[in-house]
Each structure stands twice: as structure tokens, then as C-alpha cells.
């Protein structure tokens, strides 16, 4: 399915770094989601969050493989996932911070799944056959992630006084990191800025339906697309990469 561009093909209208950014968003989010396995408030929710994480991991694998092929240096999905340091990761800050609060997990998923829904819809209609293929499959997965986040946002926001307060606090905590999703990047196939209105409009509609308020806070500086990260990514990578680095090539 994936063919590295040969010398005879015209240059692609996007960079391998762009694809790496898409892949790393999905990979790091999947790793954070996996934290909930065995820790979710209910067995049913445990499985739901694990399913979502696995969907994201599947997207990441195909995108990493493609990024490696585009780069042309022979790096596989495993090389890219397990043998890069944090400065070489291109994910946004939204997905890399810990999410040990259920409300934060739901607030972040609401934003991230809405962003991915719009992104993948645009990529599915794009000129690149590989990205269109990956996105076409992922659109259905992400629709379910968004549904899950929306249902929980409604129940927590419009639930008890305590759940309302905690859901609002979770939105407030995530909101500074939303803007980075739409920061223009060089070599993009779909300009992130072009997704802003649709994503924010859809998220705001759910937030209001849940009797919550769209936070009015200043965005952080961000910098994930340039390899600048919070201190949390290093810890995440240490856990994710430890096995592969200690036992190179380990499989089961």
C-alpha cells in the first residue's frame, strides 16, 4: 500500500515531518489512554478507553510507517516509535500531559476526537492516496471516540453539582492547549488553521449542551511541532520505550 516516492515521481505537496506530526499525536494519545487500563471507574469504561487507545495506536502505526517511507532513511514504525528522543517527537502538548483525572480525559478526548474527525475528513478527500486511505478508515473510529466523549461530557456537565464543577475545571485545564492544534506548519497537506472554526464550533456546541461554558483563557506557547515539549513527554517515552531499548528487537 505504501510506496516510497522514487526519483521519477514529482515532489509531494507535503513533508514527512507533517505526517510524523499526525502519527505522534495519535501515538502519544494512545499511550496516555492506555494508562486507564485497569484503572477506569468501571470494567465497561476500562474497555471503552482501551478500545479508543487501540484505534489511535492503529492510526499511529500506519502513519509512522508512511512517515518513515517518505523520509527515505529506512526507519520502520518501531524505529520511529521507540528510538527517537523527545526533541524528535512532533506531537502537540494537548496529548502529552498526564490524564489521571477522568474529567480531563473526557475533555481532552472531546477536543482531540473532534479535531481528528475534521482532519481525517479533509485528508480522506485529499490528493494523497495513502493518507486518504488511512483517514478514510480512521473517520469511522474517530466518530465513535467523539460520541463517547460527547455522551460523558453531557452526563458529567449536566449531572450533579460536583460532576458539573469538575467537568468545567477539566475543560478549563485543557483549553490553553487547544490552540496549538491549529498552528500552521510547513509542508502541511491540510492546513491546520483551516480546521479551527469547524472544530471549535462543534466542541462549543457540546459544551453548551452540557450546561458548561467555553473557557476564556489565553493559549500556551506550544511548540510540539518543532520538537519542544513539556517535561511530561520524557517520562511518557521512558515508560513506552523502555522495553524496546532494553531488549532491542523483542517481540512476542
Q: Report the interface residues with other proteins, using CB under 8 A.
A: 41-45, 47-48, 51, 147-148, 151, 155
Compare residues 123 and 156 and give the one whose CB is closer to other proteins.
156
User: Measured from the CB atom, is 45 or 78 closer to other proteins?
Assistant: 45
Rounded least distance, CB 43 to other proteins, Å:
8
Q: By C-beta, is 170 or 236 nearer to other proteins?
A: 170
Smallest separation (angstroms) from other proteins to the CB of 211: 17
CA–CA separation, 116 vs 118, rounded Å?
A: 5
Q: Which is nearer to other proteins, 154 or 228 (CB)?
A: 154
Considering the complex, what minimum distance in angstroms separates the CB of residue 51 from other proteins?
5
Q: Which one, 3 or 160, has the nearer CB to other proteins?
A: 160
User: To the nearest whole angstrom, how small is the minimum distance from the Cβ of residue 207 to other proteins?
Assistant: 19
Smallest gap from Cβ 34 to other proteins, in A, equals 15
Amino acid at each position: 500500500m505504501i510506496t516510497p516516492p522514487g526519483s521519477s515521481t514529482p515532489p509531494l505537496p507535503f513533508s514527512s515531518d507533517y505526517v510524523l506530526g499526525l502519527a505522534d499525536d495519535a501515538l502519544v494519545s494512545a499511550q496516555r489512554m492506555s494508562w486507564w487500563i485497569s484503572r477506569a471507574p468501571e470494567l465497561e469504561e476500562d474497555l471503552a478507553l482501551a478500545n479508543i487507545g487501540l484505534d489511535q495506536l492503529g492510526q499511529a502505526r500506519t502513519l509512522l510507517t508512511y512517515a518513515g517511507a517518505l523520509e527515505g532513511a529506512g526507519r520502520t514504525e518501531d524505529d520511529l516509535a521507540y528510538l527517537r528522543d523527545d526533541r524528535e517527537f512532533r506531537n502537540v502538548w494537548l496529548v502529552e500531559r498526564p490524564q489521571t483525572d477522568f474529567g480531563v480525559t473526557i475533555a481532552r478526548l472531546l477536543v482531540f476526537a473532534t479535531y481528528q474527525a475534521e482532519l481525517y475528513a479533509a485528508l480522506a478527500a485529499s490528493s494523497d492516496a495513502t493518507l486518504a486511505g488511512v483517514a478514510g478508515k480512521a473517520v469511522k473510529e474517530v466518530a465513535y471516540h467523539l460520541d463517547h466523549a460527547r455522551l460523558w461530557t453531557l452526563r458529567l456537565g449536566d449531572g450533579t453539582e460536583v460532576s458539573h464543577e469538575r467537568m468545567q475545571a477539566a475543560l478549563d485545564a485543557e483549553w490553553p492547549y487547544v490552540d496549538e492544534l491549529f498552528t500552521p506548519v510547513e509542508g502541511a497537506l491540510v492546513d491546520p488553521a483551516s480546521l479551527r472554526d469547524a472544530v471549535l464550533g462543534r466542541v462549543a456546541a457540546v459544551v453548551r449542551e452540557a450546561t458548561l461554558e467555553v473557557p476564556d483563557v489565553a493559549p500556551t506557547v506550544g511548540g510540539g511541532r518543532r520538537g519542544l515539549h513539556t517535561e511530561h513527554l520524557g517520562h511518557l517515552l521512558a515508560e513506552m520505550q523502555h522495553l524496546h531499548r532494553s531488549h532491542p528487537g523483542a517481540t512476542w
